[in-house]
A and B are shown apart, each in its own frame.
Chain A
Amino acid sequence: MTETATAPTPPTRYTGSRVPRVEDGRLLTGHGTFVDDIQRPGMLHACFVRSPFARALINEIDASAALALPGVHAVFTAADLNPDVHEQWYSSYGPKVPDTPRPPLASGEVRFVGDPVALVVAENRYIAEDAVELVEVDYEPLTAVADYRDAQTSGILVHPKYPNNVAGGLAGPPPQVVEAAFASAAHIADETFYQQAYAPVPMETRGMVVEWSADTDELTIWAATQTPHEVRAFGARLLGLEPERVRVLMRDTGGGFGQKVVPMREDMCVMLAARKVPAALKWIEDRRENLMAAGQARHEHGHARIAFAADGTILAAGIEHTQDIGAYPTPWPVGAAAAVGLLFPGPYKVPLASWSTTSLFSNTAGRHAYRGPWQFESVARELLLDIAARDMGLDPVELRRRNMISRDELPYPNPAGMPPYDHSSPLETFELALKMLDYDAFRAEQAAARAAGRYLGVGTSTYIEPTATGQEYYACEGAVLRVAPDGRMTVIVNGGSSGNSLETTVIQLTADALGVPFDNVDTIQGDTAVTPFGSGTAGSRSGSATAGAVGEAAAALRAKLAELASPRLGVPPEDIEVADGRAQVRGSGQSSGQSSGQSLTYADLAGPDGVEASATYTAKAPMLWSNATHVCTCEVDVVTGKVTLLRYIVGEDVGPMINPNIVEGQIAGGTVQGIGGALLEHMVYDEDGNPLASTFVDYLLPTTTEVPHIEYGHMETPAPGPGGHKGAGEGGAIGAPPAVINAVADALSPFGVKITNLPASPAALVALLTEAGH
């Protein structure tokens, strides 16, 4: 279902169509090239010695037995690697933020189970793992801060320099701003919501091959990454090398979702160690390491309040947010958390808002970026709206209709400190998704089922999110377009595709920008030696940013082709039109056929060297607003607590889609991750700080049997950016958890059950039902 609400964009051949992904052939036949496929002469293998304690002093490390094992090359400790750090900071934040500690290896004290203590280098991974068992670390265990909710009162410090374990906090409008509204409210909804820790869990774990050439002072890195240029910049700073002496390569990356958006501590170790060993060094993280040490996300709680007038109109909203950042977060977590407060009002007409956020250390895996890092704003708001509606005796859909912003009302101010919402369609996607469900029919079905002792539920979730930021670092994307002597095109961009089809996307864009067939365009990505700078897959930016870069490079290329054609066509360049694969005199009417005096193909113009043009696009708008409504229906078995999802509908607006298949793939992937977060995934620790879900036996990802068919409804409101395209990468993961939880809560509403803790596991639901007397 597609509804286009705006003036049509110029006709294009490929943009907007379901072009098959060029990546699929190799990926679906098992011929992708991932970092573990890289083989180098004499390559060595790394494996980390990791802490078995959540918090302990390191008294001594004895590597002699490990070093004596045949095939072991080296065992590095903090004393070997940490002093080599030249500079350590991420480009997106710069060196001046009050960043949290991030040593390569643990020094003196371990701070979570999985904390890297030493790095073993051996001939192969088997020997390396044998040697890891032989490294004797004398630990002196200490009581840990296992739960961030105890961090401010436990008296134990994760890092001595942070009193009360507070890494920092930010605040928007203070509570006083909303107090009068709350005082006069006819109804107040007030709950504290808790969201469990879960993580991106990419299909491909982290990994890196680093090869140092001492003779030439050159470093080559093959990485599983979302952003090769940042790996290069970071690596160069870390090692004190000129960026030009660092080359980063990647082809396929099997998912990142934020976990691979910047290098982490282990990556630092491998880069540092590579200069101390005589051959390339490979580190491939195994699944247990990934679940134990790659980091966690989502772990947070928030006291959320909404004040309503008697008719359900929202008067004010406020949230006090606290998040777990673990021991070593990546990158700086404090600033990112502001988005929770800024976006808490969501796509509703909220006159006043207040917010604050606090980041607390704990002795657990560090917080890292995860697809829609601020999604707690939607969890808290959308769950609270359903609870409020039930308390007021209103249908949750009706309560939202009374408050949601429609396209006609834009731009609309955000009271929390964001620029005004614009170019989006919250109420429209809401109605679209409800229409796809046939909401009234479902309510009738639900009533009939209840009469028969079955418990069905429906939940919705509507959000609006800033995408394709104009923030300096992420605003920037370069592209090079090259015409080969035979007229074939190549588009060269940074890349960093981790499943999000940047190859297909830029080929579509290039084919349209120059009027050439899709099959006549190749792309080169993921090699910093030959690609222009781009900031990679992050912040739902790649579609918009590459459209900008390709668009500007195509304009430059068309200008060059016009210059080249000018003498041969006998008219000045400005009288030449470059389109549809040809240069011709403007208005000559020549539409097809052979090259002639009035029309030249790109091959005619390319010459033996070809023609090339490049451009760097910089986003001008501070953000492009994407929005969506998720609607989920489910059945709950009130004896076992099992939740079965029945239908899942997403009505969304990411502007004109470059490729609906890719957009829907992005929505599906995020939605599945959100379903996992709502029902299954839980990176749980015991009271001593031991991770209890470090294999796939205990860390439960949703699979095809748990996820229903996802139905999509598209609206396309263009944004003030290239092609009108908006970001699509993160929304699924934001919208899904509240829709699922609201559906479960709706199913259980006859029992008076209120869900404020995630995940809604069967045992947790049974506990709520038991508490409610069922």
Chain B
Amino acid sequence: MKPARFEYHRPGSVDEAAALLAELGDEAKVLAGGQSLVPMLSLRLAYFDHLIDVSRLDGLRGLTVDGASLRLGAGMTEAAVGADVGVARAVPLLARATPLIGHFQIRNRGTLGGSIAHADPAAEYPAVALALDAELEAFSASAGRRVIPAAEFFTGLWSTALEPDELLVGVRFPVWTGRCGFAVEEFARRAGDFAIAGVVVALELNGDDRVARAAIGMLGLGSTPLRAPAAEAAAVGQRAGELDGAELGRLAMSGLEDIPADLQGSADYRVRVGAELVARAWAAASAEAAGSDGVGVTAASAGAIDG
């Protein structure tokens, strides 16, 4: 389990990293936290002549919140995302999804951008980004800065809309305000394993307890992270307390393609689990929204940080 020979580059800036990517093209791979890439190299399941290590670039760090959005540097570690009270307050789903990513040693190195750019269909951050319609900021030497909507970003198994010379530099998440509720439900064989299925739910209630908007993201149920548009549409305008979670689960599972089947379970099994997780996440998010004071997320949920 030793990787084949590669050349290691540690650029000093985002511009230098982009220049290297432009120069080396397909022979190079960006190394961030290395939590997926390095095992693949060590198992010799992947070979690259050049690794461009962006893990120490200050230009990929940092966090800014304005009223409408939270922007995180792509190089922020998952542990940092999970521990940040500002993140928990602005985008509770990020904070609540973080403890489900691997183990804390993995989160200490793994990065937000690395997880999203790797685009594993069972990963948590891609599903959150997709559910919340995040914007992915790419940068290249040739085209400069480019914003890619999450809905267009995940193009297939481990593949994204990033061009070979593009580096993911930041992610902008919309901040939901009002009477909102959020929930993450995931099922894995063991804590920290790749999820068999997972669901993230965000919803907002209006003054008479009807669903003003709903976002349901799913992981582990296809070759990319997925939304559940039929379930979302069915929910909007309804009284949250009157919605049948099981029906939402069925709607969310309807029309799924490329459902993985592996050692841990068949496609049918994943659908059964996925439908149940939709119901459970919807119930949890609804309860939270109903109990919300409408100003922001509750203190209890803001405190649900990586532990």
Contacts and interface: CB of A to CB of B under 8 A. Distances in A.
* A and B physically associate: yes
Interface of A: 125-126, 129-130, 133, 286-288, 639-640, 642, 680, 682, 684, 692-693, 695, 697-698, 700, 702-703, 705-706, 761-763, 766-767
A763 B266 contact: yes
Name the interface size band of chain B. Answer: 20 to 34
Contacts of A133: 4, 44
Given A693-B263, A763-B264, A126 B272 contact: no
Given A640-B273, A695-B43, A706 B190 contact: yes
Contacts of A125: 2
B190 A762 contact: no
Contacts of B269: 762-763, 766-767
A125 to B, nearest CB: 5
A152 B283 CA distance: 54
Interface in B261-283: 263-266, 269, 272-273, 276
Contacts of B3: 126
Contact of A288 (B1, B191, B192, B194): B1
B260 to A, nearest CB: 12
A703 B44 CA distance: 27
Given A126-B2, A288-B1, A763-B266, A703 B276 contact: no
Contact of A703 (B39, B187, B190): B190
A680 B265 CA distance: 13
A692 B4 contact: no
Given A639-B272, A640-B276, A680 B187 contact: no
Contacts of A692: 263
B26 interface: no
A703 B191 contact: yes
Contact of B1 (A286, A693, A703): A286
A703 B189 CA distance: 11
Nearest to A706: B190
Contact of A684 (B43, B187, B192, B263): B263
B193 interface: yes
Contacts of A706: 190-191
A761 B190 CA distance: 11
Interface string B3-34: 11100000000000000000000000000000
B280 to A, nearest CB: 9
A43 B194 CA distance: 39
B4 A642 contact: no
Nearest to B269: A763
A705 B43 contact: no
Nearest to A701: B190
A762 B263 contact: no
Contacts of B189: 680, 700, 761-762
B1 to A, nearest CB: 4
Nearest to B187: A640
B194 A697 contact: yes
Given A133-B44, A640-B187, A700-B189, A766 B263 contact: no
Contact of A705 (B1, B4, B190, B264): B190
A288 B43 CA distance: 8
Contact of B264 (A126, A288, A702, A761): A761
Contacts of A767: 269
Given A288-B1, A698-B263, A761-B264, A766 B272 contact: yes
A642 B191 CA distance: 12
Contacts of A642: 187
A763 B265 contact: yes
Nearest 9 Cβ contacts at the A-B interface: A705-B191, A763-B265, A286-B1, A126-B2, A639-B276, A763-B269, A129-B2, A640-B273, A640-B187
Contacts of A639: 272-273, 276
Contacts of A126: 2-3, 5
A287 B4 contact: no
Contacts of B39: 695
Contacts of B43: 288, 695
A125 B1 CA distance: 9
A763 B272 CA distance: 10
Nearest to B275: A639
Nearest to A695: B43
A706 B188 CA distance: 11
Nearest to A702: B190
A130 B191 contact: no
A692 B264 CA distance: 11
Nearest to B42: A286
Nearest to B45: A695
A444 B194 CA distance: 37
A288 B264 CA distance: 19
Contact of B265 (A130, A684, A762): A762
B4 A130 contact: yes
A680 B192 CA distance: 14
A682 B187 contact: no
B273 to A, nearest CB: 5
A126 B273 CA distance: 43
Given A639-B273, A767-B269, 5 more contacts: A640-B273, A692-B263, A695-B39, A700-B193, A763-B269
Contacts of B194: 697
A87 B227 CA distance: 65
B268 to A, nearest CB: 9
30 contacts: A126-B2, A126-B3, A126-B5, A129-B1, A129-B4, A130-B4, A286-B1, A287-B1, A639-B272, A639-B273, A640-B187, A640-B272, A640-B276, A680-B190, A682-B263, A692-B263, A693-B263, A700-B190, A703-B190, A703-B191, A705-B190, A706-B190, A762-B187, A762-B196, A762-B265, A762-B269, A763-B264, A763-B266, A763-B269, A767-B269
A427 B12 CA distance: 71
Contacts of B191: 703, 705-706
Contacts of B44: 129, 133
Contacts of B264: 761-763
A700 B264 CA distance: 10
A551 to B, nearest CB: 45
Nearest to B197: A640
A684 B262 CA distance: 12
A762 B263 CA distance: 11
Contacts of A682: 263
A689 to B, nearest CB: 16
Nearest to A125: B2
Contacts of A702: 190
A639 B3 CA distance: 42
Nearest to A700: B189
Contacts of A698: 263
A483 B269 CA distance: 67
A117 B4 CA distance: 21
Nearest to B279: A639
Contacts of B5: 126, 130
Contacts of B266: 763
Contacts of B4: 129-130, 133
A767 B192 CA distance: 24
B118 to A, nearest CB: 14
A763 B44 CA distance: 31
Contacts of A695: 39, 43
Contacts of B272: 639-640, 766
Contacts of A703: 190-192
B3 to A, nearest CB: 8
A129 B43 CA distance: 10
A680 B44 CA distance: 26
B190 to A, nearest CB: 6
Nearest to B193: A700
Contacts of A693: 263
Interface in B79-126: none
A446 to B, nearest CB: 23
Contacts of A763: 264-266, 269
Interface string B131-157: 000000000000000000000000000
B187 to A, nearest CB: 5
| Most chain A CB within a 10 A radius of its CB, from B4, B43, B190, B194 | B190
Contacts of A288: 1, 43
